[in-house]
Amino acid sequence: MAAIELRNVTKKFATADGGTYTALKDLSLTVEEGQFCAVVGPTGCGKSTTLTLVSGLERPSRGEAFVHGQEVKGIETGTGFVFQQDAVFPWRSVLDNVAAGPIYRGKDRSEATAQARDWLRRVGLSGFEDRFPHQLSGGMRKRVALAQTLINEPRILLMDEPFSALDVQTRAIMSTELLHLWDQTKPAVVFVTHDLEEAIALADKVVVLTAGPGTVKAEFEIDLPRPRVVQEIRFDPRFIELYEQIWEALRAEVAEAYDRTTRTAVAS
C-alpha cells in the first residue's frame, strides 16, 4: 500500500468575481512508504495546493486523496509540515518549542523535555536550549523547525520550499542534514521546490508539474547512490545527465508560465 496517493484530483477555488479557478486538474501521484518525492514546476502551477490535499487542509473538488490507504477527510495527525516560514513560537525557548508537540500529545513535561534535548542534539543545537528564536541564525531556526516536526515522528512529511529563505551555502548544508535525519526515521516525504538541483540531490523521485492547472507532466526515478552529500552530488556525471533530462521536461512549462504572467502584465 502506498503511503500517499492522489487519484485524479482536481482542485477548484472560488474567485472574487463569483467564478472558479482550477488550480489542479486530474493530478495523480503516488509516494511509497519511506520514499522521498520532490515536486517541481513553474510558479503558480499548484505545488502548494497539492500538499494541502495530502495534509487534509483542503479537500479535492474531484478525485481522492489517500494516506496509508485511508481517504483524507481532515487534518492528519501522523503528518508533519515544514514550510518556508518557520512555525516557531517566538516567546518560547528553543527547548520549549521542540518539547511543545509531545506535551500537546499528552507526554509529561520531563519526558518531553528529555526527548526535545535528544532531538536538539540530533540537529546540532545542543547548548542552545535556552535561547529564543530571535537569537538564532536563519539556519539554526530551520534546525529548530525540523526538530519540532521530527520529534513527533511523522510517517508523512510535507515540506514546502523549506530552505528557500536561507543563503546558498546554509541551504546545501541543511539539505544534507535533512537527508541524514530522514534516514533515521524514513517518513514518506513530499518536498516542493522551485530548484531542480535541490530536487534531484534530495529525492528518490522527481515529479514535474505542468503550468497551471497543474497535472503531472513526467516522473523521473533518481538512481543516485545514498548516502548523498548535497554539496558534492551535483558534480556526479549521472546527476548532470538527470538534470538535463528533467530540465527538458520542465523548460516548456516554465516558459509557458512566464509567458502568461508577462501577457497579463502587458494587458493590464
User: Does the footprint of ligand ATP cover residue 162 (CB under 6 A)?
Assistant: no
Task: Select from 6, 23, 29, 201 the one that contacts ligand ATP (CB under 6 A).
Answer: 23
Task: Select from 4, 9, 35, 47 the one that contacts ligand ATP (CB under 6 A).
Answer: 47
CB of 25 to ligand ATP, least distance (A): 11
Rounded CA-CA distance 73/79 in Å is: 13
User: Does the footprint of ligand ATP cover residue 25 (CB under 6 A)?
Assistant: no
Stretch that binds ligand ATP, among 36-44, 89-97, 121-129, 142-150 (CB under 6 A): 36-44
Set of cell numbers at residue 46: 499548484
CB of 150 to ligand ATP, least distance (A): 23
**Which lies closer to ligand ATP via its Cβ, residue 200 or residue 233?**
200
Residue indicated by cell numbers 513527533 = 152
Set of cell numbers at residue 179: 537527508
Rounded CA-CA distance 100/169 in Å is: 30
User: Does the footprint of ligand ATP cover residue 46 (CB under 6 A)?
Assistant: yes
Q: Give the C-alpha distances (Å, rounded to integers) separating 50 from 57, 134, 143, 152, 244.
A: 10, 31, 25, 22, 25
Task: Write the binding mask 207 to 246 for ligand ATP: x where contact by CB under 6 A, - elsewhere.
Answer: -----x----------------------------------
Exposed, middle or buried by CB within 10 Å (0-12, 13-18, 19+), for 227? exposed
User: Does the footprint of ligand ATP cover residue 258 (CB under 6 A)?
Assistant: no
User: Does the footprint of ligand ATP cover residue 175 (CB under 6 A)?
Assistant: no
Stretch that binds ligand ATP, among 46-54, 95-103, 142-150, 224-232 (CB under 6 A): 46-54
C-alpha gyration radius of the chain: 19
Q: Which of 45, 54, 2, 53 is nearest to 22 (CA)?
A: 45
Residues forming a β-bridge with 22: 12
Name 18's Cβ contacts closer than 8 Å, sequence gap at least 6: none
Q: Is 191 in a helix, a strand, or coil?
A: strand
Residues forming a β-bridge with 218: 208
Stretch that binds ligand ATP, among 41-49, 123-131, 136-144, 217-225 (CB under 6 A): 41-49
Task: Select from 3, 29, 40, 45 the one that contacts ligand ATP (CB under 6 A).
Answer: 45
Rounded CA-CA distance 22/187 in Å is: 30
Cα-flanking dihedrals φ and ψ of residue 159, to 5°?
A: -130, 125
Task: Select from 7, 10, 44, 92 the one that contacts ligand ATP (CB under 6 A).
Answer: 44
How many residues touch ligand ATP under the rule CB under 6 A: the total is 13
Stretch that binds ligand ATP, among 47-55, 96-104, 169-177, 252-260 (CB under 6 A): 47-55
Task: Select from 48, 61, 93, 231 the one that contacts ligand ATP (CB under 6 A).
Answer: 48
Cα-flanking dihedrals φ and ψ of residue 254, to 5°?
A: -65, -45
The number of C-alpha atoms within 13 Å of 150 and in the hemisphere containing its C-beta is: 27
Task: Select from 8, 20, 28, 43 the one that contacts ligand ATP (CB under 6 A).
Answer: 43
List contacts with ligand ATP (CB under 6 A).
13, 21, 23, 41, 43-49, 194, 212
